């Protein structure tokens, strides 16, 4: 984890809910007595504040845990070292670290302690090697901690790296600015730390420096845009750093954001009061400032919501594609995550820790899920997308529609939809598809040639086109008024009541009349065969009329029950 610390402040990262952007929101007051020059850091979903100066002698040694979710404070084991103020704190992974500082009697310290929140125990570690020290800067980058600058009988610009795995210190390149105390520091990402402001005995400072962990190199960046000051608060959220409050012979309230990628400072919403000597730390999406001094010892605790909060996001080169294909994924998460954990259900490989994995292959059809968990220190964000792997669609069902057509009439033909199909290709051996090409329903207009017509359809997608299925249709010669009767038959005749009208014509009207000329039955033709029920009629002779556009034909039927 990378924690970010200002003065005696370290930070870690975790995710929380958001309020209005670029705003401050009061939270539950710090549960200990009001104080300034305390020490703090955060681990996961918890923040910690302890020690400091409340105006009493000796100074406090208590230590408190804040729950970001529940908005509550819980007292933990007192700090195991001597009482002190001006100490440094930061966190690495799931442990907190506190060291250096001085007490109310002017005694300086170089001891260094580890706090384990899982068992609430303090353990002494290797002393800070830079000698007695107070008002230094501390922060962590990745799995290493750093302490530098401060006062130990004189102003210092030395800089040391702590490795918790070996409990050892290594001297690193000295801070690039003048020796000073009461500066502010934080880290962004897993490679860069920052120190700025403070006092060097000649006045208040506003220069700002970047430390490159990989190259052990300091580079001066754009000066802090607020007035020069000491005893400010700072932290980072995502890929942005923040500095505010402090002292320049007056209490400060302003608050500034630093953009790592553009090296630009932007003024943000002022803190709720003018204050110095406070503690600050952050989570994945929020910053916090608490305690401090503004004419009296403070125990207020306030949450800052930045203008932009981080979130995991990615794109896939394709999300709907053919089986036995490979695709690429691109991370587009905000706030420069430092770790990526991908899972690809149904894919090969099934996981990756690359920022932008390529050649993820799918050998079976189905709907799968690609998931990215992007993290930055203790901050994690997860997002998923559906991946659909398809193949050439199966052949459609045989088209439904009339089996007999007459030129130049139009008819409807249709098929049920086929999964993963983007286009339906209809072909006819005679006549034309006059509408609906590409869909499951077409309008077909019969051609002039009589005989058998094939009406075929195939479905397709990006993988290819299926086999055709076809319906054989009888295309009869154009009907005149004289030969309408030749195109339909009725049976059985005589009938006991029910009979079938079998027609080559499927667009018209059937009517039945008795010998008195009374219409006793009527219906529209909508299929090649129609069943007509005269079982409720008396025995006798009836006349079946088939009426179409070209005229009407009449046939006689006998009912004999």
Q: Where do the DSSP E strands lie in 273-359?
A: 279-282, 287-290, 301-305, 314-316, 320-322, 325-327, 329-331, 339-344, 347-348, 351-352
For residue 540, how many C-alpha atoms fall within 13 Å in the half-sphere facing its CB? 10
pLDDT over 90 for what percent of the chain? 79
Query: What does the block give as tokens for 67?
Result: 């729950």
Q: What would the two tokens of residue 263 be? A: 């090296």
146: β partners: 139, 161
The contacts of residue 404 (CB under 8 Å, 6+ apart) are: 473, 474, 475, 476, 503, 504, 505, 506, 528
Whether residue 82 is predicted with pLDDT greater than 50 in this model: the reply is yes
Q: Pick the closest to residue 269 from 241, 300, 237, 244 (CA basis).
A: 244
What is the number of other CB atoms lying within 10 angstroms of the CB of residue 369? 13
What is the structure's pLDDT at 515? 84
pLDDT tens digit string along 199-230? 999 999 999 999 999 999 999 999 999 999 99
What DSSP character marks residue 248? S
Q: What is the mean pLDDT of residues 17-44?
A: 90
Percent of the chain with pLDDT over 70: 93
Quickly count: other Cβ atoms within 10 Å of residue 170's Cβ. 12
When pLDDT is averaged across residues 50-55 and rounded to a whole number, the result is 98
Joined tokens for residue 469: 């299925």
Q: Residue 17: pLDDT above 70?
A: no
Least confident range of 114-128, 197-211, 297-311, 386-400: 297-311
Closest CA relative to residue 89, chosen from 131, 122, 55: 122
Do the Cβ atoms of 52 and 36 come closer than 8 Å? Answer: yes
Give every strand in the sheet of 379-390, ordered side by side: 320-322, 379-390, 366-376, 339-344, 351-352
Say if residue 15's pLDDT is above 50.
no
The pLDDT assigned to 14 comes to 34
95: nearest Cα among 22, 199, 15, 165 = 165
Amino acid 478: pLDDT: 55
Two tokens, residue 443: 């309008």
Instruction: Give the residue-averaged pLDDT of 2-27.
Output: 53
Instruction: Tell me the sheet residues that pair with 131.
Output: none
- For the chain, the straight-line distance linking the first and the last C-alpha, in angstroms and rounded, comes to 96
Mean pLDDT of the chain: 91
State both tokens at 450: 């009589």
Q: Which domains does the chain have, with CATH numbers?
A: 23-305 (2.120.10.80), 314-390 (2.60.40.10), 404-476 (2.60.40), 484-559 (2.60.40.3080)
Digit-coded pLDDT (tens) for 120-177:
999 999 999 999 999 999 999 999 999 999 999 999 999 999 999 999 999 999 999 9
When mean pLDDT is compared across 64-73, 90-99, 280-289, 307-316, the lowest value belongs to 307-316
Q: What is the pLDDT of residues 469-486, one digit of tens each?
A: 999 998 876 555 556 777
CA distance linking residue 9 with residue 16, whole number of Å: 20
Assess whether the previous peptide bond of 492 is cis (omega < 30° from 0): yes
**pLDDT band, very low/low/confident/very high, at 180 (cuts 50, 70, 90):** very high
Is 327's pLDDT higher than 90?
yes
Range of weakest confidence among 62-76, 211-225, 437-451, 502-516: 502-516
- Confidence category of residue 505, pLDDT binned at 50, 70, 90: low
More confident call, 19 vs 415? 415
Where residue 400 falls among pLDDT bands split at 50, 70, 90? very high
Structure-block tokens of residue 82? 């001597």
Check pLDDT > 50 for residue 66.
Answer: yes
Helix (H, G, I), strand (E, B) or coil at 345: coil
Encoding tokens for residue 550? 């070209």
In the predicted structure, residue 6 carries a pLDDT above the cut 70: no
Q: What is the pTM of this model?
A: 0.62
Q: What six digits make up the tokens of 467?
A: 């086999």
At 239-272, the pLDDT tens digits run 899 999 999 999 999 999 999 989 999 999 999 9
């Amino acid at each position: 984890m990378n924690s970010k610390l200002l003065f005696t402040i370290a930070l870690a990262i975790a995710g929380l809910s958001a309020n209005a952007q670029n705003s401050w929101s009061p939270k539950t007051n710090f549960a200990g007595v009001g104080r300034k020059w305390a020490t703090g850091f955060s681990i996961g979903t918890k923040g910690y504040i302890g020690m400091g100066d409340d105006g009493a002698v000796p100074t406090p040694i208590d230590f408190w845990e804040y729950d970001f979710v529940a908005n509550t404070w819980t007292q933990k084991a007192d700090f195991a070292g001597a009482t002190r103020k001006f100490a440094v704190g930061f966190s690495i992974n799931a442990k907190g670290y506190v060291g250096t500082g001085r007490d109310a009697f002017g005694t300086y310290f170089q001891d260094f302690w580890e706090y384990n929140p899982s068992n609430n125990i303090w353990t002494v570690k290797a002393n800070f090697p830079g000698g007695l020290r107070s008002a230094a800067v501390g922060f962590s980058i990745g799995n290493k901690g750093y302490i530098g600058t401060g006062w130990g009988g004189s102003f210092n610009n030395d800089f040391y790296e702590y490795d918790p795995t070996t409990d050892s210190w290594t001297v690193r390149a000295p801070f690039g600015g003048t020796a000073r105390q009461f500066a502010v520091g934080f880290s962004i990402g897993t490679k860069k730390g920052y120190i700025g402001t403070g006092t060097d005995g000649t006045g208040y400072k506003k220069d700002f420096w970047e430390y490159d962990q990989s190259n052990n190199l300091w580079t001066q960046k754009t000066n802090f845009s607020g007035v020069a000051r000491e005893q400010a608060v700072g932290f980072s959220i995502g890929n942005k750093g923040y500095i505010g409050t402090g002292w320049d012979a007056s209490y400060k309230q302003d608050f500034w954001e630093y953009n790592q990628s553009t090296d630009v400072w932007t003024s943000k919403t002022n803190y709720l009061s003018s204050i110095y000597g406070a503690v600050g730390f952050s989570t994945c999406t929020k910053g916090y400032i608490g305690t401090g001094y503004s004419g009296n010892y403070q125990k207020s605790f306030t949450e800052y919501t930045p203008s932009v909060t981080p979130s995991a996001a990615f794109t896939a080169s394709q999300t709907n594609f053919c089986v036995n294909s490979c695709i690429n994924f691109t991370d587009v998460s905000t706030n420069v995550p430092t770790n990526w954990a991908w899972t690809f259900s149904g894919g090969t490989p099934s996981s990756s820790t690359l920022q932008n994995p390529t050649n993820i292959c799918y050998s079976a059809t189905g709907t799968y899920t690609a998931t990215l968990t992007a993290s930055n220190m203790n901050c994690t964000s997860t997002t998923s997308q559906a991946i659909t792997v398809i193949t050439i669609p199966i052949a459609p069902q045989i088209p439904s529609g009339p089996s007999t057509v007459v030129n130049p009439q139009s008819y409807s033909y249709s098929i049920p939809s086929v999964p993963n199909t983007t286009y339906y290709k209809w072909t006819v051996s005679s006549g034309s598809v006059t509408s609906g090409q590409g869909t499951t329903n077409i309008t077909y207009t019969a051609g002039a040639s009589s005989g058998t017509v094939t009406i075929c359809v195939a479905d397709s997608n990006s993988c290819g086109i299926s086999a055709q299925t076809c319906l054989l249709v009888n295309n009869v010669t154009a009907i005149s008024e004289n030969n309408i009767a030749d195109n339909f038959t009725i049976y059985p005749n005589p009938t006991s009541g029910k009979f079938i009208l079998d027609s080559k014509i499927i667009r018209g009207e059937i009517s039945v009349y008795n010998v008195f000329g009374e219409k006793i039955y009527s219906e529209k033709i909508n299929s090649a065969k129609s069943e007509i029920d005269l079982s409720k009629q008396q025995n006798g002779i009836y006349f079946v009329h088939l009426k179409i556009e070209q005229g009407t034909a009449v046939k006689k039927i006998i009912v004999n029950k």
